[in-house]
Amino acid sequence: MPKRFSPDEYAAGVLSGNRVLLSRAITLMESTLPSDQTLAHEVMEKMLPHAGKSVRVGITGVPGVGKSTFIEAFGNYLLEEHGKNLAVLAIDPTSQRTGGSILGDKTRMETLSANPKAYIRPSPAGKTLGGVARSTRESILLCEAAGFDVIFVETVGVGQSETAVHEMVDFFLLLMLAGAGDELQGIKKGIMEMADAIAITKADGPNLPAATSAQAEYKGALHLFPLGASKWSPRVTVCSAFEKSGLAPIWDSVMEYVQLTQGNGYFQQRRQEQNLHWLRHSIRQQLEERFYQHPAVKAQWEDVSGQVTQGQKSPFAAAAELFRLLP
Ligand code: GDP
């Protein structure tokens, strides 16, 4: 059994930038054991005053678009050219379904993971979206308390987790392939609408003309979306992780976005709204857990759900009946 640390030990370790304690604290946040959750809440309380000072960037794109190669190149660029400390939280939706893992691949982000100024943490997606949401959001705050000033949250742009990630980052970067077509890439319009920037990847060698024309196409498409409350117009750029080109304009976009939205108040307002969003989310989740865990509900569940499946009872009536069982 690994040693259990006290909340103060976790807090001191994370604040001093101790990687082992940071990793252990993140594992604690991911735990679903009630005793761990109590400890996790105590640790979070201590961390909150030290969190919030990073720029949080969501990065998404379908498998094969070049996310890990891009993050390796872009991350190294930020460390070397801008002296940043970078944490990468990678949400892996495949780990649960297949037992395997796209993101767990050890060869991903080799130089970045060897750099003492970077921290890379793959996270299993967990059983529920709520699981991803809670532990990833808390991991962001822990990494901030540990002194990381840029946080990437990486997701594979095919699932539901993008919406959750969008609700926990300041800037959302969508990576796209040229010439594959949106449909083929499985990118839903909703995800494009969330993007603060789109970067067309692999813009090198023979791919360059296609990347440039995709850039024009997406620029046109994004112009059709009305300006949001941030007043930011999304950028479309091309980049190559192989040639390390087009990285500066992407970071410039992030910085310009931060400057604009900090200036017009949207940045803080959005973070406050995100806090409220997660409060509501947590309440829904805890209510649901309490409901399903209640002994009376458990005892009636099979009967009532069976009647609903057979069409003998309406789902609404059944829900009301089950709710009446609660104190
Ligand atoms: P991920 O699944 O989105 O993480 O994608 P990877 O980073 O694993 O890259 C997928 C494939 O694209 C790999 O075969 C990479 O070698 C290739 N690739 C990644 N970045 C570039 C690039 O900048 N240029 C070119 N030509 N190929 C790239």
Q: Which residue has the tokens 């919406």?
A: 163
Q: Which of 214, 229, 263 is the last residue of a domain?
A: 263
Q: Tell me how far the alpha carbon of residue 62 lies from the centroid of ligand 1, in angstroms.
A: 11
Residue with CA nearest ligand 1 atom 12: 66
Give the phi and the psi of residue 260 in degrees, each rounded to 5. Answer: -60, -50
Under a CB-based contact definition with an 8 Å cutoff, are residues 175 and 80 in contact? no
Count of all residues that appear for the chain in the document:
327
How many domains are there within the chain? 3
List, for residues 96-123, the tens digit of each pLDDT value: 444 444 555 545 788 898 899 999 998 7
CA-wise closest residue to 237 among 280, 282, 185, 200: 200
Rg (CA), the chain: 22
Question: Is residue 319 located within the same domain as residue 201?
Answer: no
Distance 64 CA to ligand 1 centre (A): 6
Per-residue pLDDT tens digits for 10-24: 999 999 999 999 999
Q: Is residue 273 part of a domain?
A: no
The pocket around ligand 1, CB under 6 angstroms, is made up of 61, 63-69, 201-202, 204, 207, 240-242
Residue with the smallest CA separation from ligand 1 atom 5 is 66
Question: If you average pLDDT over residues 174-184, what whole number do you get?
Answer: 74
For ligand 1, pick from 59, 62, 69 the residue to mutate: most ligand atoms within 8 Å of CB.
69
Q: Give the residue whose CA is nearest to atom 25 of ligand 1.
A: 202
Residues 234 and 192: beta-carbon distance below 8 Å: no
- Domain check: are 135 and 254 in the same one? yes
* Partner residues linked to 235 by β-bridges: 197
**Shared-domain flag, residues 55 and 34:** no
Range name among 24-38, 184-198, 309-323 with the lowest pLDDT average: 184-198
| Shared domain check, 136 and 66 | yes
160 and 236 assigned to the same domain: yes
The sheet carrying 197-200 orders its strands as 118-124, 86-92, 150-156, 55-61, 171-176, 197-200, 235-238
Q: Domain range holding 70? A: 51-263
Which residue's CA is minimally distant from atom 14 of ligand 1? 64
- CA–centroid distance, 317 to ligand 1, in Å, is 52
Helix (H) or strand (E) holding 63: none
As a whole number of angstroms, the distance between CA 45 and CA 295 comes to 31
* Domain-located, residue 174: yes
Separation between Cα atoms, residue 66 and residue 126, nearest integer Å: 24
Cα–Cα separations (whole angstroms), residue 103 to 99, 115, 148, 149: 12, 18, 21, 23
**292 and 210 in a common domain:** no
Closest CA to 151 of 64, 59, 232, 227: 59
Shared domain check, 252 and 174: yes
Which pLDDT tens digit goes with each residue over 82-103? 999 999 998 876 544 444 445 5
232 lies in some domain: yes
74/168 same-domain check: yes
Cβ atoms of residues 222 and 216 within 8 Å? no
Is there a single domain that holds both residue 70 and residue 219? yes
